[in-house]
Copies of this chain bind each other. A is one copy, B any other.
């Protein structure tokens, strides 16, 4: 078995388990530990994985090329729960839109093995879904290097050409009175464009965003078809009354 071959299997193992020890690799590949170490060392310098004492980690979240390093730490578990709920709403064969928010990004891990098509403007999402079952359609246009996503008029026109089943979107603030709000104009208009192109709009909002209005309010609450959140029952009653179905 060649080095290139092992390289693949090592990456595959890391993709599945996130991290593993030298022993694990050695057993899985039926090869000596010293060789595994050499492989890991080279792959680490090639930037394919992160070397730890006694093993290796997937280059994820912490140091991936495309990443939400600063954001992901906060409420990671809560967000993951929301994402899992959201992912359950997806059927095989669906065509969905995903935006470039950090919450939506965390859905990737739960949809990797579904046979669906994802349309997105988020480079981290693309990176995460690369080499998975998912077929990807990337929205074209100017790249916003800070947000690691595609924005602008061209992008919105691109979105307008599609009509999809479901859109999974994030916002920076949501309130029953003023509707949806965001920190920037770019995010707002992309979110709007996606919502228009989709039959059913799912908004992923952790409790900290509920009842808040941020910099720019850009859409009425009626844009929301389904609200996926981890808030308490009592806090979401207002939304239910407005005809929004809420998943907790």
Judge if A131 is at the interface, Cβ distance under 8 Å: yes
B137 with A139: CB separation less than 8 A: no
Question: In chain A between 1 and 31, which residues have their CB closer than 8 angstroms to a CB of chain B?
Answer: 2-5, 7-8, 11, 19
| Least CB separation from A70: chain B residue | B46
Judge if A140 is at the interface, Cβ distance under 8 Å: yes
Give the docked Cα–Cα distance between A141 and B141 (Å). Answer: 11
Given A131-B145, A138-B141, A142-B135, verify A7-B64 contact (CB < 8 Å). yes
B150 with A57: CB separation less than 8 A: no
Question: In chain A between 103 and 136, which residues have their CB closer than 8 angstroms to a CB of chain B?
Answer: 123, 126-127, 130-131, 135-136
Given A5-B52, A67-B47, verify A140-B150 contact (CB < 8 Å). yes
A126 with B127: CB separation less than 8 A: no
| Least CB separation from A52: chain B residue | B2
Give the docked Cα–Cα distance between A226 and B137 (Å). Answer: 33
Give the docked Cα–Cα distance between A85 and B70 (Å). Answer: 39
Give the docked Cα–Cα distance between A115 and B76 (Å). Answer: 37
Judge if A223 is at the interface, Cβ distance under 8 Å: no
Give the docked Cα–Cα distance between A141 and B117 (Å). Answer: 12
Question: For the complex, would chain A's binding face be called helix, strand, loop or mixed by DSSP majority?
Answer: mixed
| Least CB separation from A1: chain B residue | B54
Judge if A62 is at the interface, Cβ distance under 8 Å: yes
A2 with B145: CB separation less than 8 A: no
A48 with B19: CB separation less than 8 A: no
A63 to chain B, nearest CB (A): 10
B48 with A67: CB separation less than 8 A: yes
B67 with A66: CB separation less than 8 A: no
Give the docked Cα–Cα distance between A2 and B54 (Å). Answer: 7
- Given A5-B57, A123-B130, A139-B140, 7 additional A-B pairs, CB 8 A: A2-B53, A46-B67, A47-B67, A48-B64, A65-B131, A136-B145, A138-B140
Can you list 23 A-B contacts (CB < 8 A)?
A2-B52, A2-B55, A2-B57, A4-B61, A5-B19, A7-B64, A8-B61, A11-B65, A46-B71, A48-B65, A65-B66, A65-B131, A66-B130, A126-B143, A135-B143, A137-B141, A137-B143, A137-B154, A138-B140, A138-B150, A139-B140, A140-B155, A140-B158
